[in-house]
Structure formats: C-alpha cells, structure tokens
Amino acid sequence: MSNFEPKIIAFVCNWCTYAGADLAGTSRIKYAPNVRIVRFPCTGRIDFMLLLKALQTGADGIIVSGCHPADCHYTAGNYHARRRWIIFKSLLDFVGFDTGRITFSWVSAAEGAKWAQIVNETVDKIRDLGPYTDYSNLNKLGVGTITEVLNARTA
C-alpha cells in the first residue's frame, strides 16, 4: 500500500478556484501532482451525480471548490452548491460512504497558497484512507450481498 498514489479529481468554478489554481502556478507553489482539475462556470453548475460518477469510475478522492460565500460571480451559485453538498453529504453518510474522501472548500482567485495546501492535505488524507474500492468490489461481485462486500473490503 506504500506505493499507492491516489487519483483526485477537482471540480472547480472558473472565476475563483480555477483562477486561484492559476495563481498557485504563476507563484510556482509546488503541490502534489495527483489532482486533475475540471473547470465549471460555477459551483452551482456541479451536478453531484458527477461525484458519484467519479467514484464509480475510479477516483479515490474529490475536491469541490468555488468562490467564498458572498463572492460568487453569479451572485448565489456557491450557496446552491453548499446546500446541495449538505444534503448530499448526509446521503453519503447514510449509505456508509466515508465523506472524508470529499473535500468541499472555498478558494478565491487570490488564494493560490490555499489551493496548494488543500490539494496536499487531501492527497495526504486519501493516501491514509487507501484506494477507494467499494464500488469496484461491487462490480466484481455483481450485485453482491453486504457480507460479500464487507469480506472483500477486509480481504
């Protein structure tokens, strides 16, 4: 497990976090290369089905980040994203998914260092949690019973 390099996907808004990540670049702040950024107009656009899709297809961790409250380029998209996240998180908690794999954060266009820090922290955390295999195990087992899944998890 020591060689495990997690794959992290980041869903970010165009106006704050994407620009914040650009700033990390222009400031030459080094961070872990495990993250892949996907650009959205606004966190309000982020369909949380995308998070499930990412987990289903092989992501080990996810970052969702946009403008700070009150700074949304579109006035309120980040608030909708936040509400959606609260509901989504409680759903994940309910089904027993470790929500520690998902980082929800605000990074402004001026926070290049914060972006690097969030990426590094997330990578460290996911490295400790190990690869996300619950979904692939389910696939292996077909529609497995919960015992089979648990056995696979502890195997």
| Binding footprint of other proteins on the chain (CB under 8 A) | 5, 7, 9, 18-19, 21-22, 24-26, 28-34, 36-42, 44-48, 50, 53-54, 57-59, 73-77, 80, 84, 116
Closest to other proteins by CB, 110 vs 150, is 110
What Å distances lie between residue 75 and 69, 70, 72, 114, CA to CA? Answer: 9, 7, 5, 23
Q: What gap in Å lies between CA 153 and CA 92, rounded to an integer?
A: 18
Work out how close the CB of 30 gets to other proteins at its nearest, in angstroms, rounded to a whole number. Answer: 6
Minimum Å gap between C-beta 75 and other proteins is: 4
For the chain, the first-to-last Cα distance in angstroms comes to: 14
Q: Report the nearest approach of other proteins to the CB of residue 98 (Å).
A: 19
Whole-number Å distance between alpha carbons of 13 and 43: 5
